[in-house]
Amino acid sequence: MFSKACEYGIRASIYITLKSLQNVRVSLKDIAKEIDSPEAFTAKILQQLAKSKIIDSVKGPSGGFDINKKKIETITLTEIVKAIDGDSIFEGCGLGLKKCSEKHPCPVHNKFKKVREDLKKMIDTTTLYELSLGLKDGSTFLKH
Amino acid sequence: MFSKACEYGIRASIYITLKSLQNVRVSLKDIAKEIDSPEAFTAKILQQLAKSKIIDSVKGPSGGFDINKKKIETITLTEIVKAIDGDSIFEGCGLGLKKCSEKHPCPVHNKFKKVREDLKKMIDTTTLYELSLGLKDGSTFLKH
DNA sequence: ATAAAATCGGATAATTTTATCTGAATTTAA
DNA sequence: TTAAATTCAGATAAAATTATCCGATTTTAT
């Protein structure tokens, strides 16, 4: 569904959200440990998210990553997915045709349309804030 | 969604279905041309499908691939996907957690569940026969 | 000022996926 | 029986993705 990079990116974002709500900035090392991801690779992904202005990064001791508290409730999964995987997941044809459209559909075009729209709707309406709640109350997890 | 190999596999299967319904066996070359896929790579995929007993292969001149007519109406996309991509698409966690379950869910577990179930239901009930109809009447396409 | 703690950026490496090549085996038909 | 048309199998190559390494830069705290 998503690339590994995107999976890490989403998991990291949810963790950063959780901590940001507690006014705590978190380091790469901390993030990688908490989401059980390769540190250096995760660094690259966080850089992408920072460049896309989804998260903020601060260098130096006591530096790390956080998300603006006011922004947290507005950030959706869609923004993160787009920043990392682009919009292949939204646009791509289910059977990989370069030109697949209503006018020139592949055999599964219509059947896929509904599934894809549901997926789109779901990630479009799911916020980081929302996802951090389960983490906070211990009902959901980011590793193992 | 699916791997490239799987996309080619599905497209090839639909084309083989169309021709098999006309009692015509098709060669690799023909298939690759009709679905616009790399020939040698497609060969590997067809071998997988043949080993999985989804399609039949015949060597020698006038050889090629076909599907038993009686079987055509019973073959679903699920069988093809499983033969090529395994069941990662059915089992995998949306965020890549190794152990994600009802008891230990990732933050998007429940939101993904519905989408995934819809996808599963869709490919589980879609047959090759059905997909070949649009091709036959020119309303759907396998390339460009 | 200086040392330490962090991110940043670019190069490189490992792995997986996609794709190609080549020769062997099989089958058909002349 | 031989040549041609095919698939088959294994090796290899190319490309994309995932992952690591290292030195530079920034910032903090002493």
Burial letters B98-108, b for 16+ CB under 10 A, else e: eebeeeebbbb
The model's pLDDT over A10-22, given as tens digits with 9 standing for 90+, comes to 999 999 999 999 9
pLDDT (tens digit per residue) in A69-91: 999 999 999 999 999 999 999 88
- Note whether A17 and A9 are within 8 A (CB): no
Query: Residue for token digits 């790579």?
Result: B41
pLDDT per residue as tens, chain B (144 positions):
999 999 999 999 999 999 999 999 999 999 999 999 999 999 999 999 999 999 999 999 999 999 999 999 999 999 999 999 999 998 889 999 999 999 999 999 999 999 999 999 999 999 999 999 999 999 999 999
Which of strand D's nucleotides are less than 7 A from any protein C-beta? 4-10, 17-22, 25-29
All residues of chain A having their beta carbon less than 8 Å from the beta carbon of residue B102 are none
Say how many Å lie between the first and final Cα of chain A, rounded: 19
Distance CA B37, CA B110 (A): 37
**pLDDT bucket at A28, cuts 50 / 70 / 90:** very high
Average pLDDT score, chain A: 97
Mutation for testing the B interface, residue in A113, A140, A142, A144 having most B CBs under 10 Å: A140
The string of pLDDT tens digits covering residues B9-43 is 999 999 999 999 999 999 999 999 999 999 999 99
Is residue A92 pLDDT above 90, yes or no? Answer: no
Please give the Cα distance from B96 to A36 (Å, whole number).
11
The answer to whether residues B95 and B83 touch, using CB atoms and an 8 Å cutoff, is no
- Check if residue B5 sits with its Cβ under 7 angstroms from strand D: no
At residue A51, the pLDDT reads 98
What is the structure's pLDDT at B118? 95
Phi/psi at A64 (5° precision): 140, -150
Q: Could A95 and B126 be called an inter-chain contact, meaning their C-beta atoms sit closer than 8 Å? A: no
